[in-house]
């Protein structure tokens, strides 16, 4: 009796891991490989415990069950409630750049390596230098604003 429980548990767990791989963790990862490994071990043990005839029957049942589970998983939209239905299309500093002009001065509130945070006109923005590294507290000037990026330079 324990042999049946072992074989069926390995096969069911293997199928569950393969479905999880396909639906939740796309790509060839450890989850799918482990699932396939559990299936192989379960089927292999069925040959060992029950003989060749029962082993081939279990191979057939496992194959049919795998196909049915995969077909049902994709066609019945079972996983629709888990999927993301909305998307975010916002951008950094979106809509906040209207009040900034080239030449406006401010101060870094984090180190710019070369991207970081700065306070300009009492608001915090993500800013970028032209490759320079600036420490926190450095006085800066806006030299360019393009495509939601604020390019700054230090004031010497």
> What residue spans define the domains of the chain?
2-82, 97-154
Query: Is residue 77 over pLDDT 80?
Result: no
Q: For residue range 7-66, what is the model confidence (pLDDT) as tens digits? A: 999 999 999 888 888 777 777 678 888 989 999 999 999 999 999 999 999 999 999 988
Mean pLDDT to the nearest integer, 101-130: 93
Closest CA to 117 of 101, 134, 104: 134
Residue 79's pLDDT band (cuts 50, 70, 90):
low
Query: Is residue 95 over pLDDT 90?
Result: no
Query: Is residue 91 over pLDDT 90?
Result: no
- Please, are residues 31 and 21 in contact by the beta-carbon 8 Å criterion? yes
Query: Is residue 92 over pLDDT 90?
Result: no
In this structure, whether the domain defined by 97-154 belongs to CATH 2.30.30.40 is answered with no
Mean pLDDT to the nearest integer, 77-86: 69
Residue 128's pLDDT band (cuts 50, 70, 90):
very high
Mean pLDDT to the nearest integer, 100-128: 93
Q: What is the pLDDT of residue 87?
A: 76
Q: What is the pLDDT of residue 138?
A: 95
């Amino acid at each position: 009796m324990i042999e049946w429980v072992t074989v069926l548990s390995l096969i069911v767990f293997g199928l569950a891991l393969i479905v999880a791989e396909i639906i939740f963790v796309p790509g060839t990862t450890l989850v799918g490989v482990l699932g396939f490994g559990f299936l192989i071990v379960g089927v292999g043990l069925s040959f060992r415990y029950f003989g060749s005839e029962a082993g081939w029957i279990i191979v057939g049942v496992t194959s049919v069950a795998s196909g049915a589970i995969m077909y049902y998983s994709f066609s019945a939209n079972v996983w629709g409630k888990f999927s993301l239905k909305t998307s975010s299309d916002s951008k950094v500093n979106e809509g906040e750049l209207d009040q900034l002009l080239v030449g406006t001065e401010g101060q870094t509130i984090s180190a710019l390596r070369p991207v970081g945070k700065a306070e300009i006109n009492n608001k915090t923005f993500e800013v970028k230098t032209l490759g320079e590294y600036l420490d926190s507290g450095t006085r800066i000037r806006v030299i360019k604003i393009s495509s939601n990026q604020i390019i700054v330079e230090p004031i010497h």
